[in-house]
Structure 1
Amino acid sequence: MSTAALPTDISTIPTKRPFNFGRWFSQTGWRHVVGVVMVIFSLFPIIFVISSSLNPNGTLTGSNALFSTIGLDSYIRILNDPQVPFMPWFGNTLIVAGITSVATVFLGALAAYAFSRMRFKGRRFGLMSIVIVQMFPQILAVVAIFLLVSTLGDWFPSIGLETHAGLILVYLGGALGVNTYLMYGFFNTIPKDIDEAAKIDGAGHARIFFTIILRLVAPILAVVALLSFIATVNEFVVASVLLTETDSQTLAVGLTKLVSNPRYADWSAFSAGAVMAALPVVALFLFLQKYIVGGLTAGAVK
């Protein structure tokens, strides 16, 4: 039994270099600094709104010193004020945003599957049209949307003005284009061999889509649902045009009434409403966070 000889020359053993702050900062340290600055920059508006919502005076004057005064008067006032139907606004927002996000995901997935897996006349023109239409902001079509919904309301009152169904249809028309193109890139990353194997076993397009493809593209579906939900909750222009009655309005439209009069603006109650309106978005984001990174990056490279 023989053993290998151990090296006797200790000069060949690498030694750990002493810590050099300049070298560390030039390689990785500056990234930490940039990250900390960006986190502070992103969190400051949120902290300021929370501090403002806890200000019992109802103004922004005392909010310059963060959390100088703390009270729940603003939350109690906005929840109990009969002239501010916060809970109906909150319910309307959840209904409109929830239905819009689910319908956007379902219809967008159907369109993306067709563009990705099927070859038909006008396919390339359809994809280019989706991209070109997104170049124009939605505010350019506000007048046309109002006239269209108003005319449809004369024939079908259930989707006319002052109806949530009409607002949802408008949101679907504006969101399907960009979301379809986003999901189209992700669908292309799914190997077509899976489809061919399923077709050999006798499966049709509907069965392949609902039983196989939807499970594989779950990350992008979660991302589209989250983006659609956030966009619908924050949307103001179209909702303010189509919904003018107080009881049918959403939070984005209703809360502006608290600050529409500069002399009697209740910024503290407005901030409290904004904080409570953000809770469903935060909850949905935390629930879908495991899908977000994969859904945003996997479709970037085919």
Structure 2
Amino acid sequence: MAVVDATGSRQQAQRVRWWRELSWRYLIAVAAILYAIFPIVFVLSASLSSRGTLSGTSGLFTSVTTVQYDALFDTLFWTWMANSLIIGGVSSVGTVLMASAAAYAFSRFRFRGRRGTLTFLLLLQMFPQLLAFVAILLLLLALGHAVPLLGLNSKAALIAVYFGGALGANTFLMYGFFNSVPRELDEAARIDGASHSRIYFTIILRLVAPVLAVVALLAFVGSFSDFIIARVVLTQQDQLTVAVGLYQFVSGQFDARWGIFAAGAVIASIPIVVLFQFLQRYIVGGLVAGAVKG
């Protein structure tokens, strides 16, 4: 009986300890999940509604229809979607190549101005992009006269702007990760006769794959969902990105089409979700290692 009483008392103490130390964490996690998932459910419900508006909605999924999705085929939505995928894909790949090359140079080479340049990149991240809009507009206006491909209303010009905006932060992020790769690998490869380019492409890039995936994801999401810079640079309807194009559905004061906007937003979120799931195993390792090592 004494053993049974001791076991019961121990289990009771464990339950009390769980409620006192751990239960509040689960409650906060459930509240955070509900807070995050409600907008997604609401947008999905609006995209499946036949009303085409958010006013007068009495409940979620009161009517389920694909009329809003069918209406997208009568617009330039799929052209905007293709533009966003092209811009996001090229910006992502280019940012990874440029930032990784710069981070490799800062990590492995010693040259005059190295530390000052790293400090400048760090300070550059503290200024908001809003300060650069006027400069970007004037620069593209001037470039358009000399090189029309890099002028206003050009996807190439927008991609170039994204390259410049993402280079500083991503270089600094990769720099910490590159420092975690042992230099002995470089020395062993040089003894075997490998050049810096071969070491970079065949050894280093394979070892830093997690941070490459993180930078690629951040660059793609940033350029795919960007609105303000794309709104300034692109003007023609067939050149717009999906974020700017969808805004036109709800920009009117009396003719806002929230249903088709919600349907387009749901479809536009699919590439980001797929890319995140594909790179998920690299993301945590890439962010944590780059933050604590170097």
TM-score, normalised to structure 1, is 0.92
Pairs within 5 Å for 1:45-64:
45-63=39-57
Q: Which of 107, 124, 127 in structure 1 is aligned with 2:118? A: 127
State the match for 2:204 in structure 1. Answer: 213
User: Which residue of structure 2 lines up, in the alignment, with residue 18 of structure 1?
Assistant: 11
2:290 equivalent in structure 1: 299
Moved more, 193-202 or 105-114: 193-202
Matched, 1:32 2:26: yes
| 1:223 matches 2:214 | yes
Contact 1:50–1:271 (CA<8 Å) still a contact in 2? yes
Q: Which amino acid aligns with 1:26?
A: R
Aligned equivalents of 1:70 and 1:102: distance in 2? 39
Q: How much has 1:238 moved relative to structure 2?
A: 0.9
Residues 243-268 of structure 1: CA distance to partner in whole angstroms, max 9, x if unpaired? 01101000111111100102000001
The correspondence of residues 80-99 of structure 1 with structure 2, limited to 5 A, is 81=74, 84-99=75-90
Deviation for aligned residue 1:138: 0.9
Alpha-carbon distance in structure 2 between the residues aligned to 1:224 and 1:68: 41
Gaps of 5+ in 1: 1-9
Aligned letter for 1:275?
Answer: V
- Whole-Å separation in 2 of the counterparts to 1:235 and 1:192: 38
The one-letter amino acid of 1:43's match is: I
The question of whether the paired residues in 1 share the 8 Å contact of 2:173 and 2:291 is answered with no
**Alpha-carbon RMSD:** 1.4
CA-to-partner distance for each residue in 1:83-112, whole Å, 9 max, x for gaps? x20111000000000000000001000000
In structure 2, how many angstroms separate the alpha carbons of the residues matched to 1:135 and 1:202?
A: 42
Contact 1:55-1:62 at 8 Å conserved across structures = no
The Cα shift of 1:294 comes to 0.5
- Among 156, 160, 166, which residue is 2:151 paired with? 160
Tell me whether 223-232 or 55-64 shows the greater mean CA deviation.
55-64
Deviations 1:2-23 (A, max 9, x none): xxxxxxxx97xx8462235432
Paired with 2:166 and 2:43, the residues of 1 have a C-alpha distance of 29
CA distance in 1, matches of 2:225, 2:133: 16
Rate the CA distance shift 1:63–1:188 in 2: closer, same or farther, 3 A.
farther
* Cα distance per residue 1:126-181 (max 9 Å; x no partner): 10111111111111111110110111111011111111000000010001110110
Aligned partners of 1:111, 1:62: CA distance in 2, in Å?
A: 54
Letter of the 1:282 counterpart: V
Q: Is the 8 A contact 1:48 1:63 kept in 2?
A: no
Give 1:1-302 correspondences, 5 Å limit.
Answer: 15=7, 17-20=10-13, 21-63=15-57, 65-79=59-73, 81=74, 84-302=75-293
Distance 2:58 2:283 in 1: 35
How far is 1:62 from its partner? 4.4
Partner SS for 1:262: coil
Letter of the aligned partner of 1:119 in structure 2? R
Instruction: Please identify, of 163-172 and 66-75, the stretch whose mean Cα deviation from structure 2 is larger.
Output: 66-75
Mark the runs of 5 or more structure 2 residues left unpaired by the alignment: none
Question: Which structure has the larger Rg over C-alpha atoms?
Answer: 1
Measure the CA separation in 1 of the matches of 2:81 and 2:42. Answer: 22
- Contact 1:51 1:63 (8 Å CA) reproduced: no
The amino acid of 2:71's aligned partner reads R
Give distance in 1, aligned partners of 2:177 and 2:34.
33
In structure 1, give the amino acid aligned to 2:249. Answer: L
The code of the aligned residue for 1:18 comes to: Q
CA contact (8 A) 1:74 1:269 kept: yes
Cα 1:73/1:137, change in 2 over 3 Å: same
Aligned residues of 1:62 and 1:68 also touching (Cα < 8 A) = no
